[in-house]
């Protein structure tokens, strides 16, 4: 059993300090990690609409996504941004230097698409690139920053993803900040997603995260996600390596972005999908699905629509969680959440199995070992599997209670411990739950 509880105490203290000192981009947006749908991971740069009419980057793809976000119940849960990624542009600007969408694939233009998305009660996001070209080779904003920022506002854009291909990494800090100021001057509030740290990280440069938190609502820290468990764990491990540094810059209005959710596609099993969803919730990551919304299996949809996990993701404190232990193939991640009582946080705790040997791994730990020490104890909820032992949903545990989990290979048991509002006097029923000295999540 791990013993270094001081590590947790220190990391949590650091996170608390940071929440008080970092001031984010002051546009009133993204106070919780933004949620929605983003084309790139699943649809890339498919432009052949004759052969792939349902998959090509076209107004139809985004209108369909908007329709399905609403009709399939995602919008009600918070998935409200419909975001166009690369390959929407015409290869040329207009004669007067304005950006224009590809005419065949976006025959009604971007304004009409934004209007359609808005008519569904959703928000509209658009991709561009700070360089001379986008990553796929279309015209970038470099040299046209003011014109393009105004254009976005005129079109009704609510969210700008600004990539960094075809630009000089050394100039990115100032370039991105400058473009952000042009966005600000339009007077239209637009979420601003920056990519400069991913490019500078790649070059081993020192990254000015304080500037990111001041000028961007979110930023891509690291490489693109792919549709595989290897990619998900690679990103999670990299975030864990950097957590002491990165987590302090996350908070309402300013987020680290480990990239899209790939749940519901080809690469992740059901267990791995639970793991990505739990990890992204713990990391206070934006939740942007990149998938084919009308072709998602019900078991994957249930994961994407898990209200309890979304509640962790959208917790108002906005504190990014940490990987606190690695032990016998189980990674334990914790995130402080509301409610807070007497200076003690509630916690979401994810037990993520990195094992691939066939049987579920049993793991036992007390709450005090996880740093959950509040004397009034906690109510506990199992977020992916509502059934606890005896079929009850709510139990009450103390810091000395033993938590027993059994984690499927590459899966996750995700628990939530809400600090109790009243003191326990005995093993009486309390808080609509039953006091447990030992509780098993099977
Ligand atoms: C783009 O501009 C180039 C150079 O003016 C021209 O040759 C080409 O036909 C244009 N392409 C489109 C799709 O307008
Ligand atoms: C522009 O920046 C100012 C100062 O940070 C802020 O108060 C305002 O809300 C911003 N406006 C928009 C539209 O982003
Ligand atoms: C306990 O359950 C009752 C009835 O379901 C509910 O009204 C009450 O709010 C619950 N109390 C707490 C503390 O959750």
Nearest-5° Cα angle at 162, 106 to 73: 60
Whole-number pLDDT of residue 434: 56
Q: What is the pLDDT of residues 62-89, one digit of tens each?
A: 999 999 999 999 999 999 999 999 999 9
**5-11+320-441 and 22-313 in the same fold:** no
Name the closest-CA residue to atom 3, ligand 3: 432
Please provide the average confidence, as pLDDT, over all residues in the chain.
91
d(CA 68, CA 7): 44
Are 176 and 129 in contact by the 8 Å Cβ rule? The answer is no
State the average pLDDT over residues 276-299: 98
Are 152 and 185 in contact by the 8 Å Cβ rule? The answer is no
- Regarding the beta carbon of 103 and ligand 1, being less than 6 Å apart is answered no
CA of 433 to the centre of ligand 3 (A): 10
Nearest-5° Cα angle at 349, 406 to 439: 50
Any idea which residue has 């207009």 for tokens? 94
Residue 65, classed as helix, strand or coil, is helix
CA of 74 to the centre of ligand 3 (A): 28
Pick from 184, 185, 191, 215 the residue to mutate for probing ligand 2's pocket: most ligand atoms within 8 Å of its CB: 184
Whole-number pLDDT of residue 26: 86
- Regarding the beta carbon of 434 and ligand 2, being less than 6 Å apart is answered no
Pick from 431, 432, 433, 434 the residue to mutate for probing ligand 3's pocket: most ligand atoms within 8 Å of its CB: 432
State the average pLDDT over residues 157-177: 97
CA of 158 to the centre of ligand 2 (A): 14
Q: Is 224 annotated in the active site?
A: yes
d(CA 152, CA 183): 8
d(CA 71, CA 38): 17
Given the residues 168, 224, 327, 437, select the one marked as catalytic.
224
Name the closest-CA residue to atom 2, ligand 1: 92
What is the DSSP code (8-state) at residue 406?
A: E
State the average pLDDT over residues 163-185: 97
Q: Is 163 annotated in the active site?
A: yes
- Share above pLDDT 90 across residues of the chain, in percent, rounded to a whole number: 81
Q: Which ligand is nearest to the CA of 381?
A: 3
Q: Which atom of ligand 1 is nearest to the CA of 92?
A: 1
| Fold exhibited by the domain 22-313 | TIM Barrel (3.20.20)
Q: Spell out the domain ranges in the chain.
A: 5-11+320-441, 22-313
Any idea which residue has 């749908």 for tokens? 37
Residues 6+ apart with CB under 8 A from 309: 277, 278, 281, 303, 383, 384, 414
Q: How far is C-alpha 25 from the geometric centre of its chain's CA atoms?
A: 18
Strand partners, 37: 82, 289
For the chain, the 3-state helix, strand and coil shares in percent, each to the nearest 5, are: 35, 25, 40
Residues with CB under 6 A from ligand 3: 431-432
User: Does pLDDT of 96 surpass 50?
Assistant: yes
Which CATH architecture does the domain made up of 5-11+320-441 adopt? Sandwich (2.60)
d(CA 288, CA 36): 5
Are 148 and 141 in contact by the 8 Å Cβ rule? The answer is yes
d(CA 258, CA 273): 15
Q: Which atom of ligand 1 is nearest to the CA of 90?
A: 13
Whole-number pLDDT of residue 439: 77
Pick from 87, 89, 90, 91 the residue to mutate for probing ligand 1's pocket: most ligand atoms within 8 Å of its CB: 91
Q: What tokens appear for 429 in the block?
A: 């029923």
What interhelical angle do 109-119 and 145-155 show, nearest 10?
Answer: 40
């Amino acid at each position: 059993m791990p013993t270094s509880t001081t590590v947790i105490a220190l990391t949590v203290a650091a996170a608390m300090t940071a929440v008080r000192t970092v001031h984010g981009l002051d546009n009133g947006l993204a106070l919780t990690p933004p949620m929605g749908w983003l084309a790139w991971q699943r649809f890339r740069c498919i432009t052949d609409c004759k052969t792939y009419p349902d998959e090509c980057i076209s107004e139809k793809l985004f209108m369909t996504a908007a329709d399905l976000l609403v009709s399939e119940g995602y919008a009600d849960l918070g998935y409200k941004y419909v975001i166009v990624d690369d390959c929407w542009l015409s290869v040329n600007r207009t004669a007067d230097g304005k950006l224009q969408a590809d005419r065949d694939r976006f025959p009604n233009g971007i304004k009409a698409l934004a209007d359609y998305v808005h008519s569904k009660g959703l928000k509209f996001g658009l991709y561009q690139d700070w360089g001379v070209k986008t990553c796929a080779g279309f015209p970038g904003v470099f040299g046209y920053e003011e014109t393009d920022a105004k254009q976005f506002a005129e079109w009704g854009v609510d969210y700008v993803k600004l990539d960094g291909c075809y630009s000089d990494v050394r100039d990115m800090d100032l370039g991105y900040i400058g473009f952000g100021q042009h966005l600000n001057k339009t007077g239209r509030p637009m979420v601003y997603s920056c990519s400069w740290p991913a490019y500078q990280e790649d070059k081993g440069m020192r990254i000015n995260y304080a500037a990111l938190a001041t000028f961007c609502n979110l930023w891509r820290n690291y490489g693109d996600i792919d549709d595989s468990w290897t990619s998900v764990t690679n990103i999670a491990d990299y975030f864990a390596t950097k957590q002491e540094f990165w987590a302090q810059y996350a908070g309402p209005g300013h987020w680290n972005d480990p990239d899209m959710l790939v749940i519901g596609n080809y690469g992740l099993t059901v267990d791995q999908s639970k793991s990505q969803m739990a990890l992204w919730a713990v990391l206070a990551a934006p939740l942007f699905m990149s998938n084919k919304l009308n072709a998602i299996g019900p078991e994957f949809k249930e994961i994407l629509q898990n209200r309890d996990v979304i509640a962790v993701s959208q917790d108002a404190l906005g504190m990014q969680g940490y990987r606190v232990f690695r032990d016998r193939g189980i990674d334990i991640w914790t995130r402080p959440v509301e409610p807070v009582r007497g200076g003690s946080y509630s916690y979401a705790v994810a037990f993520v199995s990195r094992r691939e040997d066939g049987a579920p791994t049993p793991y036992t730990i007390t709450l005090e070992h996880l740093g959950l020490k509040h004397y009034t104890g906690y109510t506990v909820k199992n977020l992916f599997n509502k059934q606890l032992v005896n079929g009850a949903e709510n139990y009450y545990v103390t810091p000395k209670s033993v938590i027993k989990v059994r984690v499927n290979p590459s899966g996750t048991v995700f628990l939530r411990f809400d600090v109790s509002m009243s003191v326990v006097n005995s093993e009486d029923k309390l808080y609509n739950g039953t006091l447990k000295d030992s509780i098993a999540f099977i």
